Amino acid sequence: EDKVVQSPLSLVVHEGDTVTLNCSYEVTNFRSLLWYKQEKKAPTFLFMLTSSGIEKKSGRLSSILDKKELFSILNITATQTGDSAVYLCAVALWSGNTPLVFGKGTRLSVIA
């Protein structure tokens, strides 16, 4: 059975801290790994990672994939209260419709 495991499940940090969110996976026919940010409504796309060792960066967020060890990390530096959200990791599989398998998410709370 395909599965995606995220850790920690929840995290509370102070503004300015740096956080690292983890995502490991065991799937057949791995295609890519995606990170989403979910606030009160639907997830918004952050990154898609396909190749190992290539860091994707967007402002204070960055992510990297290790296809040998089957995991990815999402880093957020200088956290702000607006970063408070659930961060979802999903793996896309090679199949006709490319379904996504989601982890349970990491709930990040940034306090002032």
Partner 1 sequence: GAVVSQHPSRVICKSGTSVKIECRSLDFQATTMFWYRQFPKQSLMLMATSNEGSKATYEQGVEKDKFLINHASLTLSTLTVTSAHPEDSSFYICSATTGTGVETQYFGPGTRLLVL
Near partner 1 by CB under 8 A: residue from 45, 54, 55, 111: 45
Separation in Å, CA 90 to CA 46, 58, 79, 94, 110: 11, 18, 23, 13, 23
Task: Examine residue 109 and tell whether it contacts partner 1 (CB under 8 A).
Answer: no
Please tell me the distance from the alpha carbon of residue 109 to that of residue 80, in angstroms, as a whole number.
Answer: 9
Nearer to partner 1, 17 or 67 (CB): 67
Count, residues near partner 1 per rule CB under 8 A: 22
Q: How many CA atoms lie within 13 A of 74 on its CB side?
A: 30
Buried b (16+ CB within 10 A) or exposed e, 96-108: eeeebbebebbbb
Task: Examine residue 105 and tell whether it contacts partner 1 (CB under 8 A).
Answer: yes
Rounded least distance, CB 68 to partner 1, Å:
21
Q: Tell me, residue by residue from 2 to 41, as one string, x for binding to partner 1 by CB under 8 A and - for no binding.
A: -----------------------------xx-x-x----x
Task: Examine residue 100 and tell whether it contacts partner 1 (CB under 8 A).
Answer: yes
Task: Examine residue 84 and tell whether it contacts partner 1 (CB under 8 A).
Answer: no
Please tell me the distance from the alpha carbon of residue 71 to that of residue 6, in angstroms, as a whole number.
Answer: 10
